[in-house]
Structure 1
């Protein structure tokens, strides 16, 4: 199962969680990210929106839709 956790707080993401995606494709909760000490952010939105917007998350998206 490909469940993704926030690298800072360790919590599993829910589809409606607000997240940011940085230039190295790390997803982090918006509330957790330190905007002064992080990689540049290339996108933000809900976790579900980010998974749908980027094809390299397809395996994760498919796994979470099954569960």
Structure 2
């Protein structure tokens, strides 16, 4: 069974984040590309590819939203 990840836009560049792109997730659950993140590192709760971060936080799974 394959689980589809939700399409998420980076709030800085407004591009869709791809599964293989490196992202940062902060304490208010804002997901950004690493190169777009412009806040304090102390606020981060996760980092990795979108696919890796989504495994830790199931609210990124599109199937669970339906």
Structure 1 CA distance for aligned equivalents of residues 7 and 18 of structure 2: 10
Q: CA deviation at 1:51?
A: 1.2
Which residue in the other structure is 1:31 paired with? 35
In the superposition, the TM-score normalised over structure 1's length comes to 0.74
Residues 1:54 and 2:57 aligned together: yes
3-state SS in 2 of match to 1:31: helix
Gaps of 5+ in 1: none
CA change 1:18–1:55 in 2 (3 A) is same
In the superposition, the TM-score normalised over structure 2's length comes to 0.75
Aligned residues: 59
Structure 1 CA distance for aligned equivalents of residues 25 and 16 of structure 2: 16
Residues 1:40 and 2:36 aligned together: no
Structure 2 CA distance for aligned equivalents of residues 21 and 35 of structure 1: 11
The 4+ residue runs of structure 1 with deviation greater than 6 A are: none
CA RMSD of the aligned region, Å? 2.1
Q: CA deviation at 1:35?
A: 3.4
